[in-house]
Amino acid sequence: MGTPASPLGEYLRARRAATSPEDVGVRSLTRRRVPGLRRDEVARLAGISQEYYLRLEQGRDRTPSDQVLQALGRAFRLDDAGRQHMVRLSTAQPSDIAAAEAAVSTEAMAAILDSWANTPAYIINSRHEVVLSNALARWVVPLGLEVGRSIPEVVFTYPEVRALPTWQDLADRTARRMRFYGDPYDERLHTTAARLCALDPVFRDLWERHEVDPYYDGDVRPFIDGYGQVPLRHQTFVVPNTPGYLLCAYHAVPGSASAEALAHLGRRIASETAYA
């Protein structure tokens, strides 16, 4: 599983295979050999010729107009995230991602994270590898937020994570976010995905569907040793002047038991650091 010759073509093939004819109002008069839509059905739904759609899937045409992309989005009933992803794939170009990441200076970012004594915060790259994390984040999520850790590998290969009752939802979100934020020409992304596909049929199924999910905000309930489940809110920001880095922070409602737990934990970490 290497870098795709045509990221857009690969995406269109995957969405065509995953789209149920009944879900888009297509009735079959003959028996289907495989699930999903036929190329002529997609073309008809999008209002384009079958030959042109075939060229898009095969990568022989890589510059569809905005109108064509919008029509394909409607044909596949894509949500906003799916349409954003498809548009980005249509304009993606190979680049030296390793060089871009090596050029990022992280000293200032690390100082900012460390100054947030009561806010668990971390920075990940487009492959969902942890670039930076503060001490509170590493305490709140001890398995996944050590610097250098690959969050997808933690989710899909750590037995203690797979044992979580929410693992299926976590696995689904992780694969979707790898797709949404990952650079389609990133060899390291595809190497990680190939390794996880070989290890885990669940990941392979999720990855091959090409479904996406942005990581904006939401609720989490991490189990923190000594504090139990602590309800928190997470928020994600794009770090400017980086090749797709994301700043993720957890916060609690002021005055809540969760805020008190984070403040107490922050003081505990500061005390242990002072005596280290």
CA distances from 61 to 44, 247, 272 (A): 18, 36, 60
- CA nearest to 56, candidates 35, 77, 75: 75
**Position 64 confidence tier, pLDDT thresholds 50, 70, 90:** very high
What pLDDT sits at residue 274? Answer: 67
Question: Domains of the chain: which residue ranges?
Answer: 7-91, 98-274
Tell me the per-residue pLDDT of 132-190, one tens digit each, with 9 for 90 and over. 999 999 999 988 999 999 999 999 999 999 998 889 999 999 999 999 999 999 999 99
Say yes or no: do domains 7-91 and 98-274 share a fold. Answer: no
CATH number of 7-91: 1.10.260.40
Q: What's the rounded Cα separation, in Å, for the pair 266 and 218?
A: 22
For residue 106, what pLDDT is reported? 95
Residues 246, 258: Cα–Cα separation, whole Å? 24
Any bridge partners for residue 124, and if so which?
A: 130, 246
Tens of pLDDT, residue by residue over 214-268, are 988 889 888 888 888 899 999 999 999 999 999 999 999 999 999 999 999 999 9
| Residue 159 Cα distances to 3, 143, 153, 155, angstroms | 29, 11, 11, 9
Query: Confidence band (pLDDT; 50, 70, 90) for 41?
Result: very high
pTM metric for this prediction: 0.90
CATH number of 98-274: 3.30.450.180
